[in-house]
Amino acid sequence: MAKKEFIYMGKTLEELQTMGIKELAQLLPSRIRRKLNRGLTDAEKTFLKNLKTSKKPVKTHCRSMIILPEMVNKTIKVHSGKSFDDVLIQPEMIGHYLGEFALTRKKVSHSAPGVGATKSSSNVSVK
C-alpha cells in the first residue's frame, strides 16, 4: 500500500513550501494568521535563518514559533525549561507551535505511600 500524500487545505507540501508567509497565513487558523500577519520577532527571524544554513539540529528557546513548511524534515532542539528536546518536524505539524512538542512538565508517577501516610501504611514493610 502506497504512502498517502500529505495535503493541507487542498495544497501539497511542495505548493506550501513555495508560498510566501502572507499567502500561507490565509490557509492557517485565525490565531496563527494573526501572529504571522503581525510579523515574526527578531529571535524567530534569527532562528529561521540559522535553520536554513545549519546542517545539524538548531537549538531554540522560541517555543511560540509556528511550524512553517520550510521546517519539514528538519530536527530542532526545543528548550523544555530544563533541557533541549529533539523534535523531528513532520508535515502534519504545520501550523502548530514548537512548544507543543517539547513538554515542560513530566508525568507524576507516585510510589508507595510513606510510613504514617495512611492507617494501612503501618502494615507496609520499611525496607
Residue 18 has pLDDT above 70, yes or no: yes
Residue 31 lies in a domain: yes
The two counts, helices (H) then strands (E), for the chain are 4, 5
DSSP assignment of 1-45, as one string? -PPPPPEETTEEHHHHHHS-HHHHHTTS-HHHHHHHHH---HHHH
Confidence grade of residue 59 (pLDDT, cut at 50, 70, 90): very high
Q: How many structural domains compose the chain?
A: 1
Most confident of 11-20, 53-62, 108-117: 53-62
Q: Is 121 helix (H, G, I), strand (E, B) or coil?
A: helix
Residue 69 lies in a domain: yes
* Residue 76 and residue 57 in contact, taking contact as beta carbons nearer than 8 Å: yes
Residue 126 lies in a domain: no
Residue 57 lies in a domain: yes
Residue 115 lies in a domain: no
Residue type, 16: L
Residue 56 domain boundaries: 7-104
pLDDT tens-digit series, residues 82-107: 999 999 999 999 999 999 999 999 88
Residue 127 lies in a domain: no
Residue 124 lies in a domain: no
Four-CA torsion 59, 65, 68, 71, nearest 10 degrees: 0
Q: What is the CATH number of the domain that holds 16?
A: 3.30.860.10
